[in-house]
């Protein structure tokens, strides 16, 4: 008789792989797991707790001058206001991925925690590395963030390393499943990274580093979400099985 493998006997990294390979669960099945409910509530609570903190933090970032970097790659690109195209791609990508994730609670939970970790990582890097933006900067007008942070009179332009827009698009590509989905979102990620450089709201260093931080945030979220899926027992083999 083949022994059943208990995921609790494996190290966290191996358990994360097992969870990612489980069949997709419905909300009814996922909600029946205490671990899923607890992590979902905690993740939402932590994200909501950031809402009053983030605007003040970014106004603090804006108040700190820093060096202006030399960027040979940036000098090769034209300068244009592409705000509409940038946020059309970003919000379109977010809407499409939400449609994909909503019926898949396990993937949605991991994406939620990954976004939380991404925000914390970005706040850390912005605090550690004050910078002044490129000289030819054109203010990027985000219809959502401008209203949330009340930045119409003082735009936030020193939130540079790393590019939050590029990192968010990378996170969307990591959150979905299927080659077609990921390829499409990878193309959109490259498009957004190029657009923010054309707008001169970031250095090329900010854009190139963004996918690395998005990947790190997604891996951290995977560690948090281990154990939230119901265990799928393998069928026992008969005693006469070869």
Q: Which residues of the chain have pLDDT under 70?
A: 1-24, 145-153, 229-242
> pLDDT value at position 150?
53
What is the DSSP code string of the chain?
A: -PPPPPGGGS-HHHHHHHHHTSPP--HHHHHT-HHHHHHHHHHHHHHHHHTTHHHHHHHHHHT---PBPP-HHHHTS-----HHHHHHHHHHHHHHHHHHHTT-HHHHHHHHHHHHHHHHHHHHHHHH---BPPTT------TTHHHHHT-SSS------SS-HHHHHHHHHHHHS-SHHHHHHHHHHHHHHHHHHHHTTSS-HHHHHHHHHHHHHHHHHHHHHHTT-SPP-PPPPPPTT--
Rounded (5°) CA angle 47-161-171: 50
The answer, yes or no, to whether the previous bond of 162 is cis (omega within 30 of 0) is yes
pLDDT of 148 reads 60
pLDDT at 152: 46
pLDDT tens-digit readout, 102-121: 999 999 999 999 999 999 99
Model pLDDT, residue 230: 55
pLDDT for 37 equals 95
First to last CA, the chain: 10
Report d(CA 94, CA 60) in Å as an integer: 28
**What does the pLDDT read at residue 104?**
96
| 68: phi then psi, degrees, rounded to nearest 5 | -100, 125
Query: In the prediction, which pLDDT does 1 show?
Result: 42
Alpha-carbon span 148 to 28, nearest angstrom: 34
């Amino acid at each position: 008789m083949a022994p059943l493998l208990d995921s609790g006997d494996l190290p966290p990294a191996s358990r994360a792989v097992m969870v990612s390979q489980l069949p997709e669960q419905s909300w009814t099945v996922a909600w029946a797991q205490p671990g899923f409910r607890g992590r979902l509530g905690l993740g939402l609570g932590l994200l909501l707790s950031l809402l009053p903190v983030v605007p003040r933090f970014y106004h603090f970032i804006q108040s700190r001058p820093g060096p202006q970097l030399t960027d040979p790659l940036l000098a090769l690109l034209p300068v244009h206001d592409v705000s509409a195209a940038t946020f059309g791609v970003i919000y379109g990508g977010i809407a499409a991925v939400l449609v994909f994730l909503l019926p898949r609670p396990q993937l949605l939970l991991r994406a939620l925690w990954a976004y939380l970790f991404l925000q914390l990582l970005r706040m850390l890097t912005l605090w550690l590395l004050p910078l002044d933006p490129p000289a030819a900067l054109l203010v990027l007008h985000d219809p959502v963030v401008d209203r949330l942070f009340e930045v119409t009179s003082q735009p936030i332009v020193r939130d540079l390393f790393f590019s939050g827009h590029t990192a968010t698009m990378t996170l969307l590509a990591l959150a979905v499943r299927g080659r077609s989905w990921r390829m499409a979102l990878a193309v959109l990620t490259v498009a957004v990274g190029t657009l923010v450089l054309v707008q001169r709201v970031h250095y090329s260093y900010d854009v190139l580093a963004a996918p690395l931080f998005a990947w790190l945030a997604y891996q951290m979220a995977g560690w948090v979400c281990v154990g939230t899926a119901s265990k799928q027992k393998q069928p026992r083999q008969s005693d006469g099985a070869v």
